[in-house]
Amino acid sequence: MSATLQKSLMVACAAVLTVFALWSAQAAMNVDLVKQGDQQWAAGQLDQAQATFEQAVRAEPKSLKAHMKLAGLQLSQQDFKASIPTYQAAIGLDANNDKAWLGIAFAYLHTGQDALAAAAFDSAIRINPSNREKLAPVLDKLSAR
């Protein structure tokens, strides 16, 4: 193997390892951010938790966990309008996540978007049929509106 080819291979390997190391560090940082946000939420530091979860989403836009934590916090604070696009992003990452469909359904319900709430509840039930029994009282009230 020529010295030039050997040098090129070493440079390429170093570049791949560098990219992998950066990706690993970013993934670890995101896990740490979600964990930190969970701790802040548990301590009642809701503004800090929201900022931390938002940072986790920015750091790793494809993190379902970060989106779900942020949306859950928004929903728990009754910030229904803010939780809708966050749940939509989570559903975009995993359309078979029944918890995301349930979250967005309740957000739609609380913003008076009954047809969208019913459709989201239907999706949650389709994905996880055991949701039907749990949601029966809500679905009855929704259909009576």
How far CA 76 is from CA of 13, 17, 24, 101, 140, in Å, comes to: 47, 41, 31, 15, 23
pLDDT score at 122: 97
Instruction: Check pLDDT > 60 for residue 15.
Output: no
pLDDT per position as a tens digit, 70-122: 999 999 999 999 999 999 999 999 999 999 999 999 999 999 999 999 999 99
pLDDT score at 102: 97
Both tokens of 61, joined, read: 């836009």
pLDDT per position as a tens digit, 16-25: 445 454 455 4
**Domains of the chain (ranges plus CATH)?**
3-144 (1.25.40.10)
Both tokens of 129, joined, read: 């049929």
Reference 46, options 56, 55, 34, 38; nearest CA is 38
Quote the pTM value: 0.78
pLDDT per position as a tens digit, 38-59: 999 999 999 999 999 999 999 9
Question: How many alpha carbons fall within 13 Å on the CB side of residue 8?
Answer: 5
